[in-house]
């Protein structure tokens, strides 16, 4: 089941890649139905808030008309950053499933454990490593192609 | 100077209170000019993302057409929570000025120090306690009146 929804998050991530955005995608599931889906839009929007998770949370809240996303599961291709971990806490999302770890910015397992923080009034169950290879390969390919493009541009000058 | 802009953040917080929202307000200043202003809208929007800081950051990014809010100062009446601290990191805001401490949810000084975290790629200068009494009294009054209303309702039943 987790694979099925992570595959949907990957579809979202691919939409980001097509826009030249870092390919990160998310879906939110309630009662075995996707209630929101979103992808990273930071470059397109030039708005630092527009990470996939934040957009998916905002859209799910609209769908449910509630800022509390109880009984929801967030699927995201990459380990959430500090802002998105915070948004998960604010939305009281009970379960978070992510694909690849983010050693540089992830605050669920890598840099810290913000979804299991006794000081906060909410903690989430975390499941990681679902379709991990697909999620991380997608990111690696994106950055590889970005570097190649930059090199090409440099050589043109 | 800090007092002048914190007073503007308090004006925003009062707008929130008038909507029955927890009174928290924020403004973002660049080159001695307010480029965005916002207040907490969580109840009205039923969207957990709509904290004053996040809304002010989104609006400032739009004003500058950049997700990097360089040379900007964020003024907020209450110590930022984990989501808003994360948004500040994502927006690379160099200076954050806040009024009252939030012992239950603040992640700048109270629960943790997310704006001075060596693991992140951005740290902010923090100035706290500006118009602290005004900022905290406003919150205390709001919760006091909320409790009184709840008690009244209970007595009516």
ipTM of the complex: 0.95
- The boundaries of the domain holding residue B133 are 1-156
Q: Once rounded to an integer, what is the mean pLDDT over residues B10-16?
A: 98
Active site (catalytic) residues of A: 53
Residue of A nearest to B115 (CA): A82
Choose between B45 and B156: higher pLDDT.
Answer: B45
Closest partner residue to B48 (CB to CB) among A82, A90, A107 is: A90
Q: Once rounded to an integer, what is the mean pLDDT over residues B38-57?
A: 97
Note the pLDDT of residue B103. 97
- Total domain count, chain A: 1
pLDDT band at A154 (very low <50, low <70, confident <90, very high): confident
| CATH code for position A99 | 3.40.140.10
Cα separation, B17 vs B13, in Å, equals: 6
Show Cβ contacts of residue B153 under 8 Å, excluding neighbours closer than 6 positions. Answer: none
Cα separation, B15 vs B26, in Å, equals: 11
Structure tokens at A125: 């169950």
Q: Looking at the predicted structure, is the pLDDT value of residue B157 above 80?
A: no
pTM: 0.96
The burial class, CB within 10 Å (0-12 / 13-18 / 19+), for A127 is middle
Q: Which of A85, A86, A106, A113 to mutate to test the interface with B (most CBs of B within 10 A)?
A: A86
Distances in whole angstroms, Cα of residue B5 to Cα of each of B31, B36, B135:
13, 12, 13
Q: Looking at the predicted structure, is the pLDDT value of residue A66 above 90?
A: yes
Closest partner residue to B82 (CB to CB) among A49, A92, A120 is: A120
Write out the binding residues of A for Zn(2+).
Answer: 51, 81, 84
Q: What is the DSSP letter of A111?
A: S
Active site (catalytic) residues of B: 53
Convert B49-58 to b/e letters by CB count within 10 Å (16 or more is b): bbbbbbbbbb
Show Cβ contacts of residue B111 under 8 Å, excluding neighbours closer than 6 positions. Answer: A119, A120, B105
Cα separation, B63 vs B60, in Å, equals: 5
Choose between A112 and B146: higher pLDDT.
Answer: A112
Q: Checking DSSP bridges between strand A72-78 and strand A25-30, what pairing results, if any?
A: antiparallel
**Tens-digit pLDDT profile for residues A67-126:** 999 999 999 999 999 999 999 999 999 999 999 999 999 999 999 999 999 999 999 999
Q: What is the DSSP letter of B39?
A: E
Cα separation, A95 vs A102, in Å, equals: 18
């Amino acid at each position: 089941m987790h694979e099925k929804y992570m595959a949907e998050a990957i579809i979202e991530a691919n939409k980001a890649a097509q826009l030249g955005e870092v390919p990160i995608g998310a879906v939110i599931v309630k009662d075995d139905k996707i209630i929101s889906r979103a992808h990273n839009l930071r470059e397109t929007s030039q708005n630092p808030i527009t990470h996939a998770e934040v957009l998916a949370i905002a859209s799910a809240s609209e769908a449910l008309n509630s800022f509390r996303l109880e009984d929801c599961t967030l699927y995201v291709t990459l380990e959430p950053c500090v802002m998105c971990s915070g948004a998960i806490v604010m939305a009281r999302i009970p379960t978070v499933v992510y694909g690849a770890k983010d050693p540089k910015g992830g605050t669920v397992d890598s840099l810290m454990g913000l979804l299991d923080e006794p000081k906060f009034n909410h903690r989430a169950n975390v499941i990681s490593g679902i379709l991990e290879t697909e999620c991380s390969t997608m990111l690696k390919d994106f950055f590889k192609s970005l570097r190649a493009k930059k090199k090409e541009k440099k050589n043109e000058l």
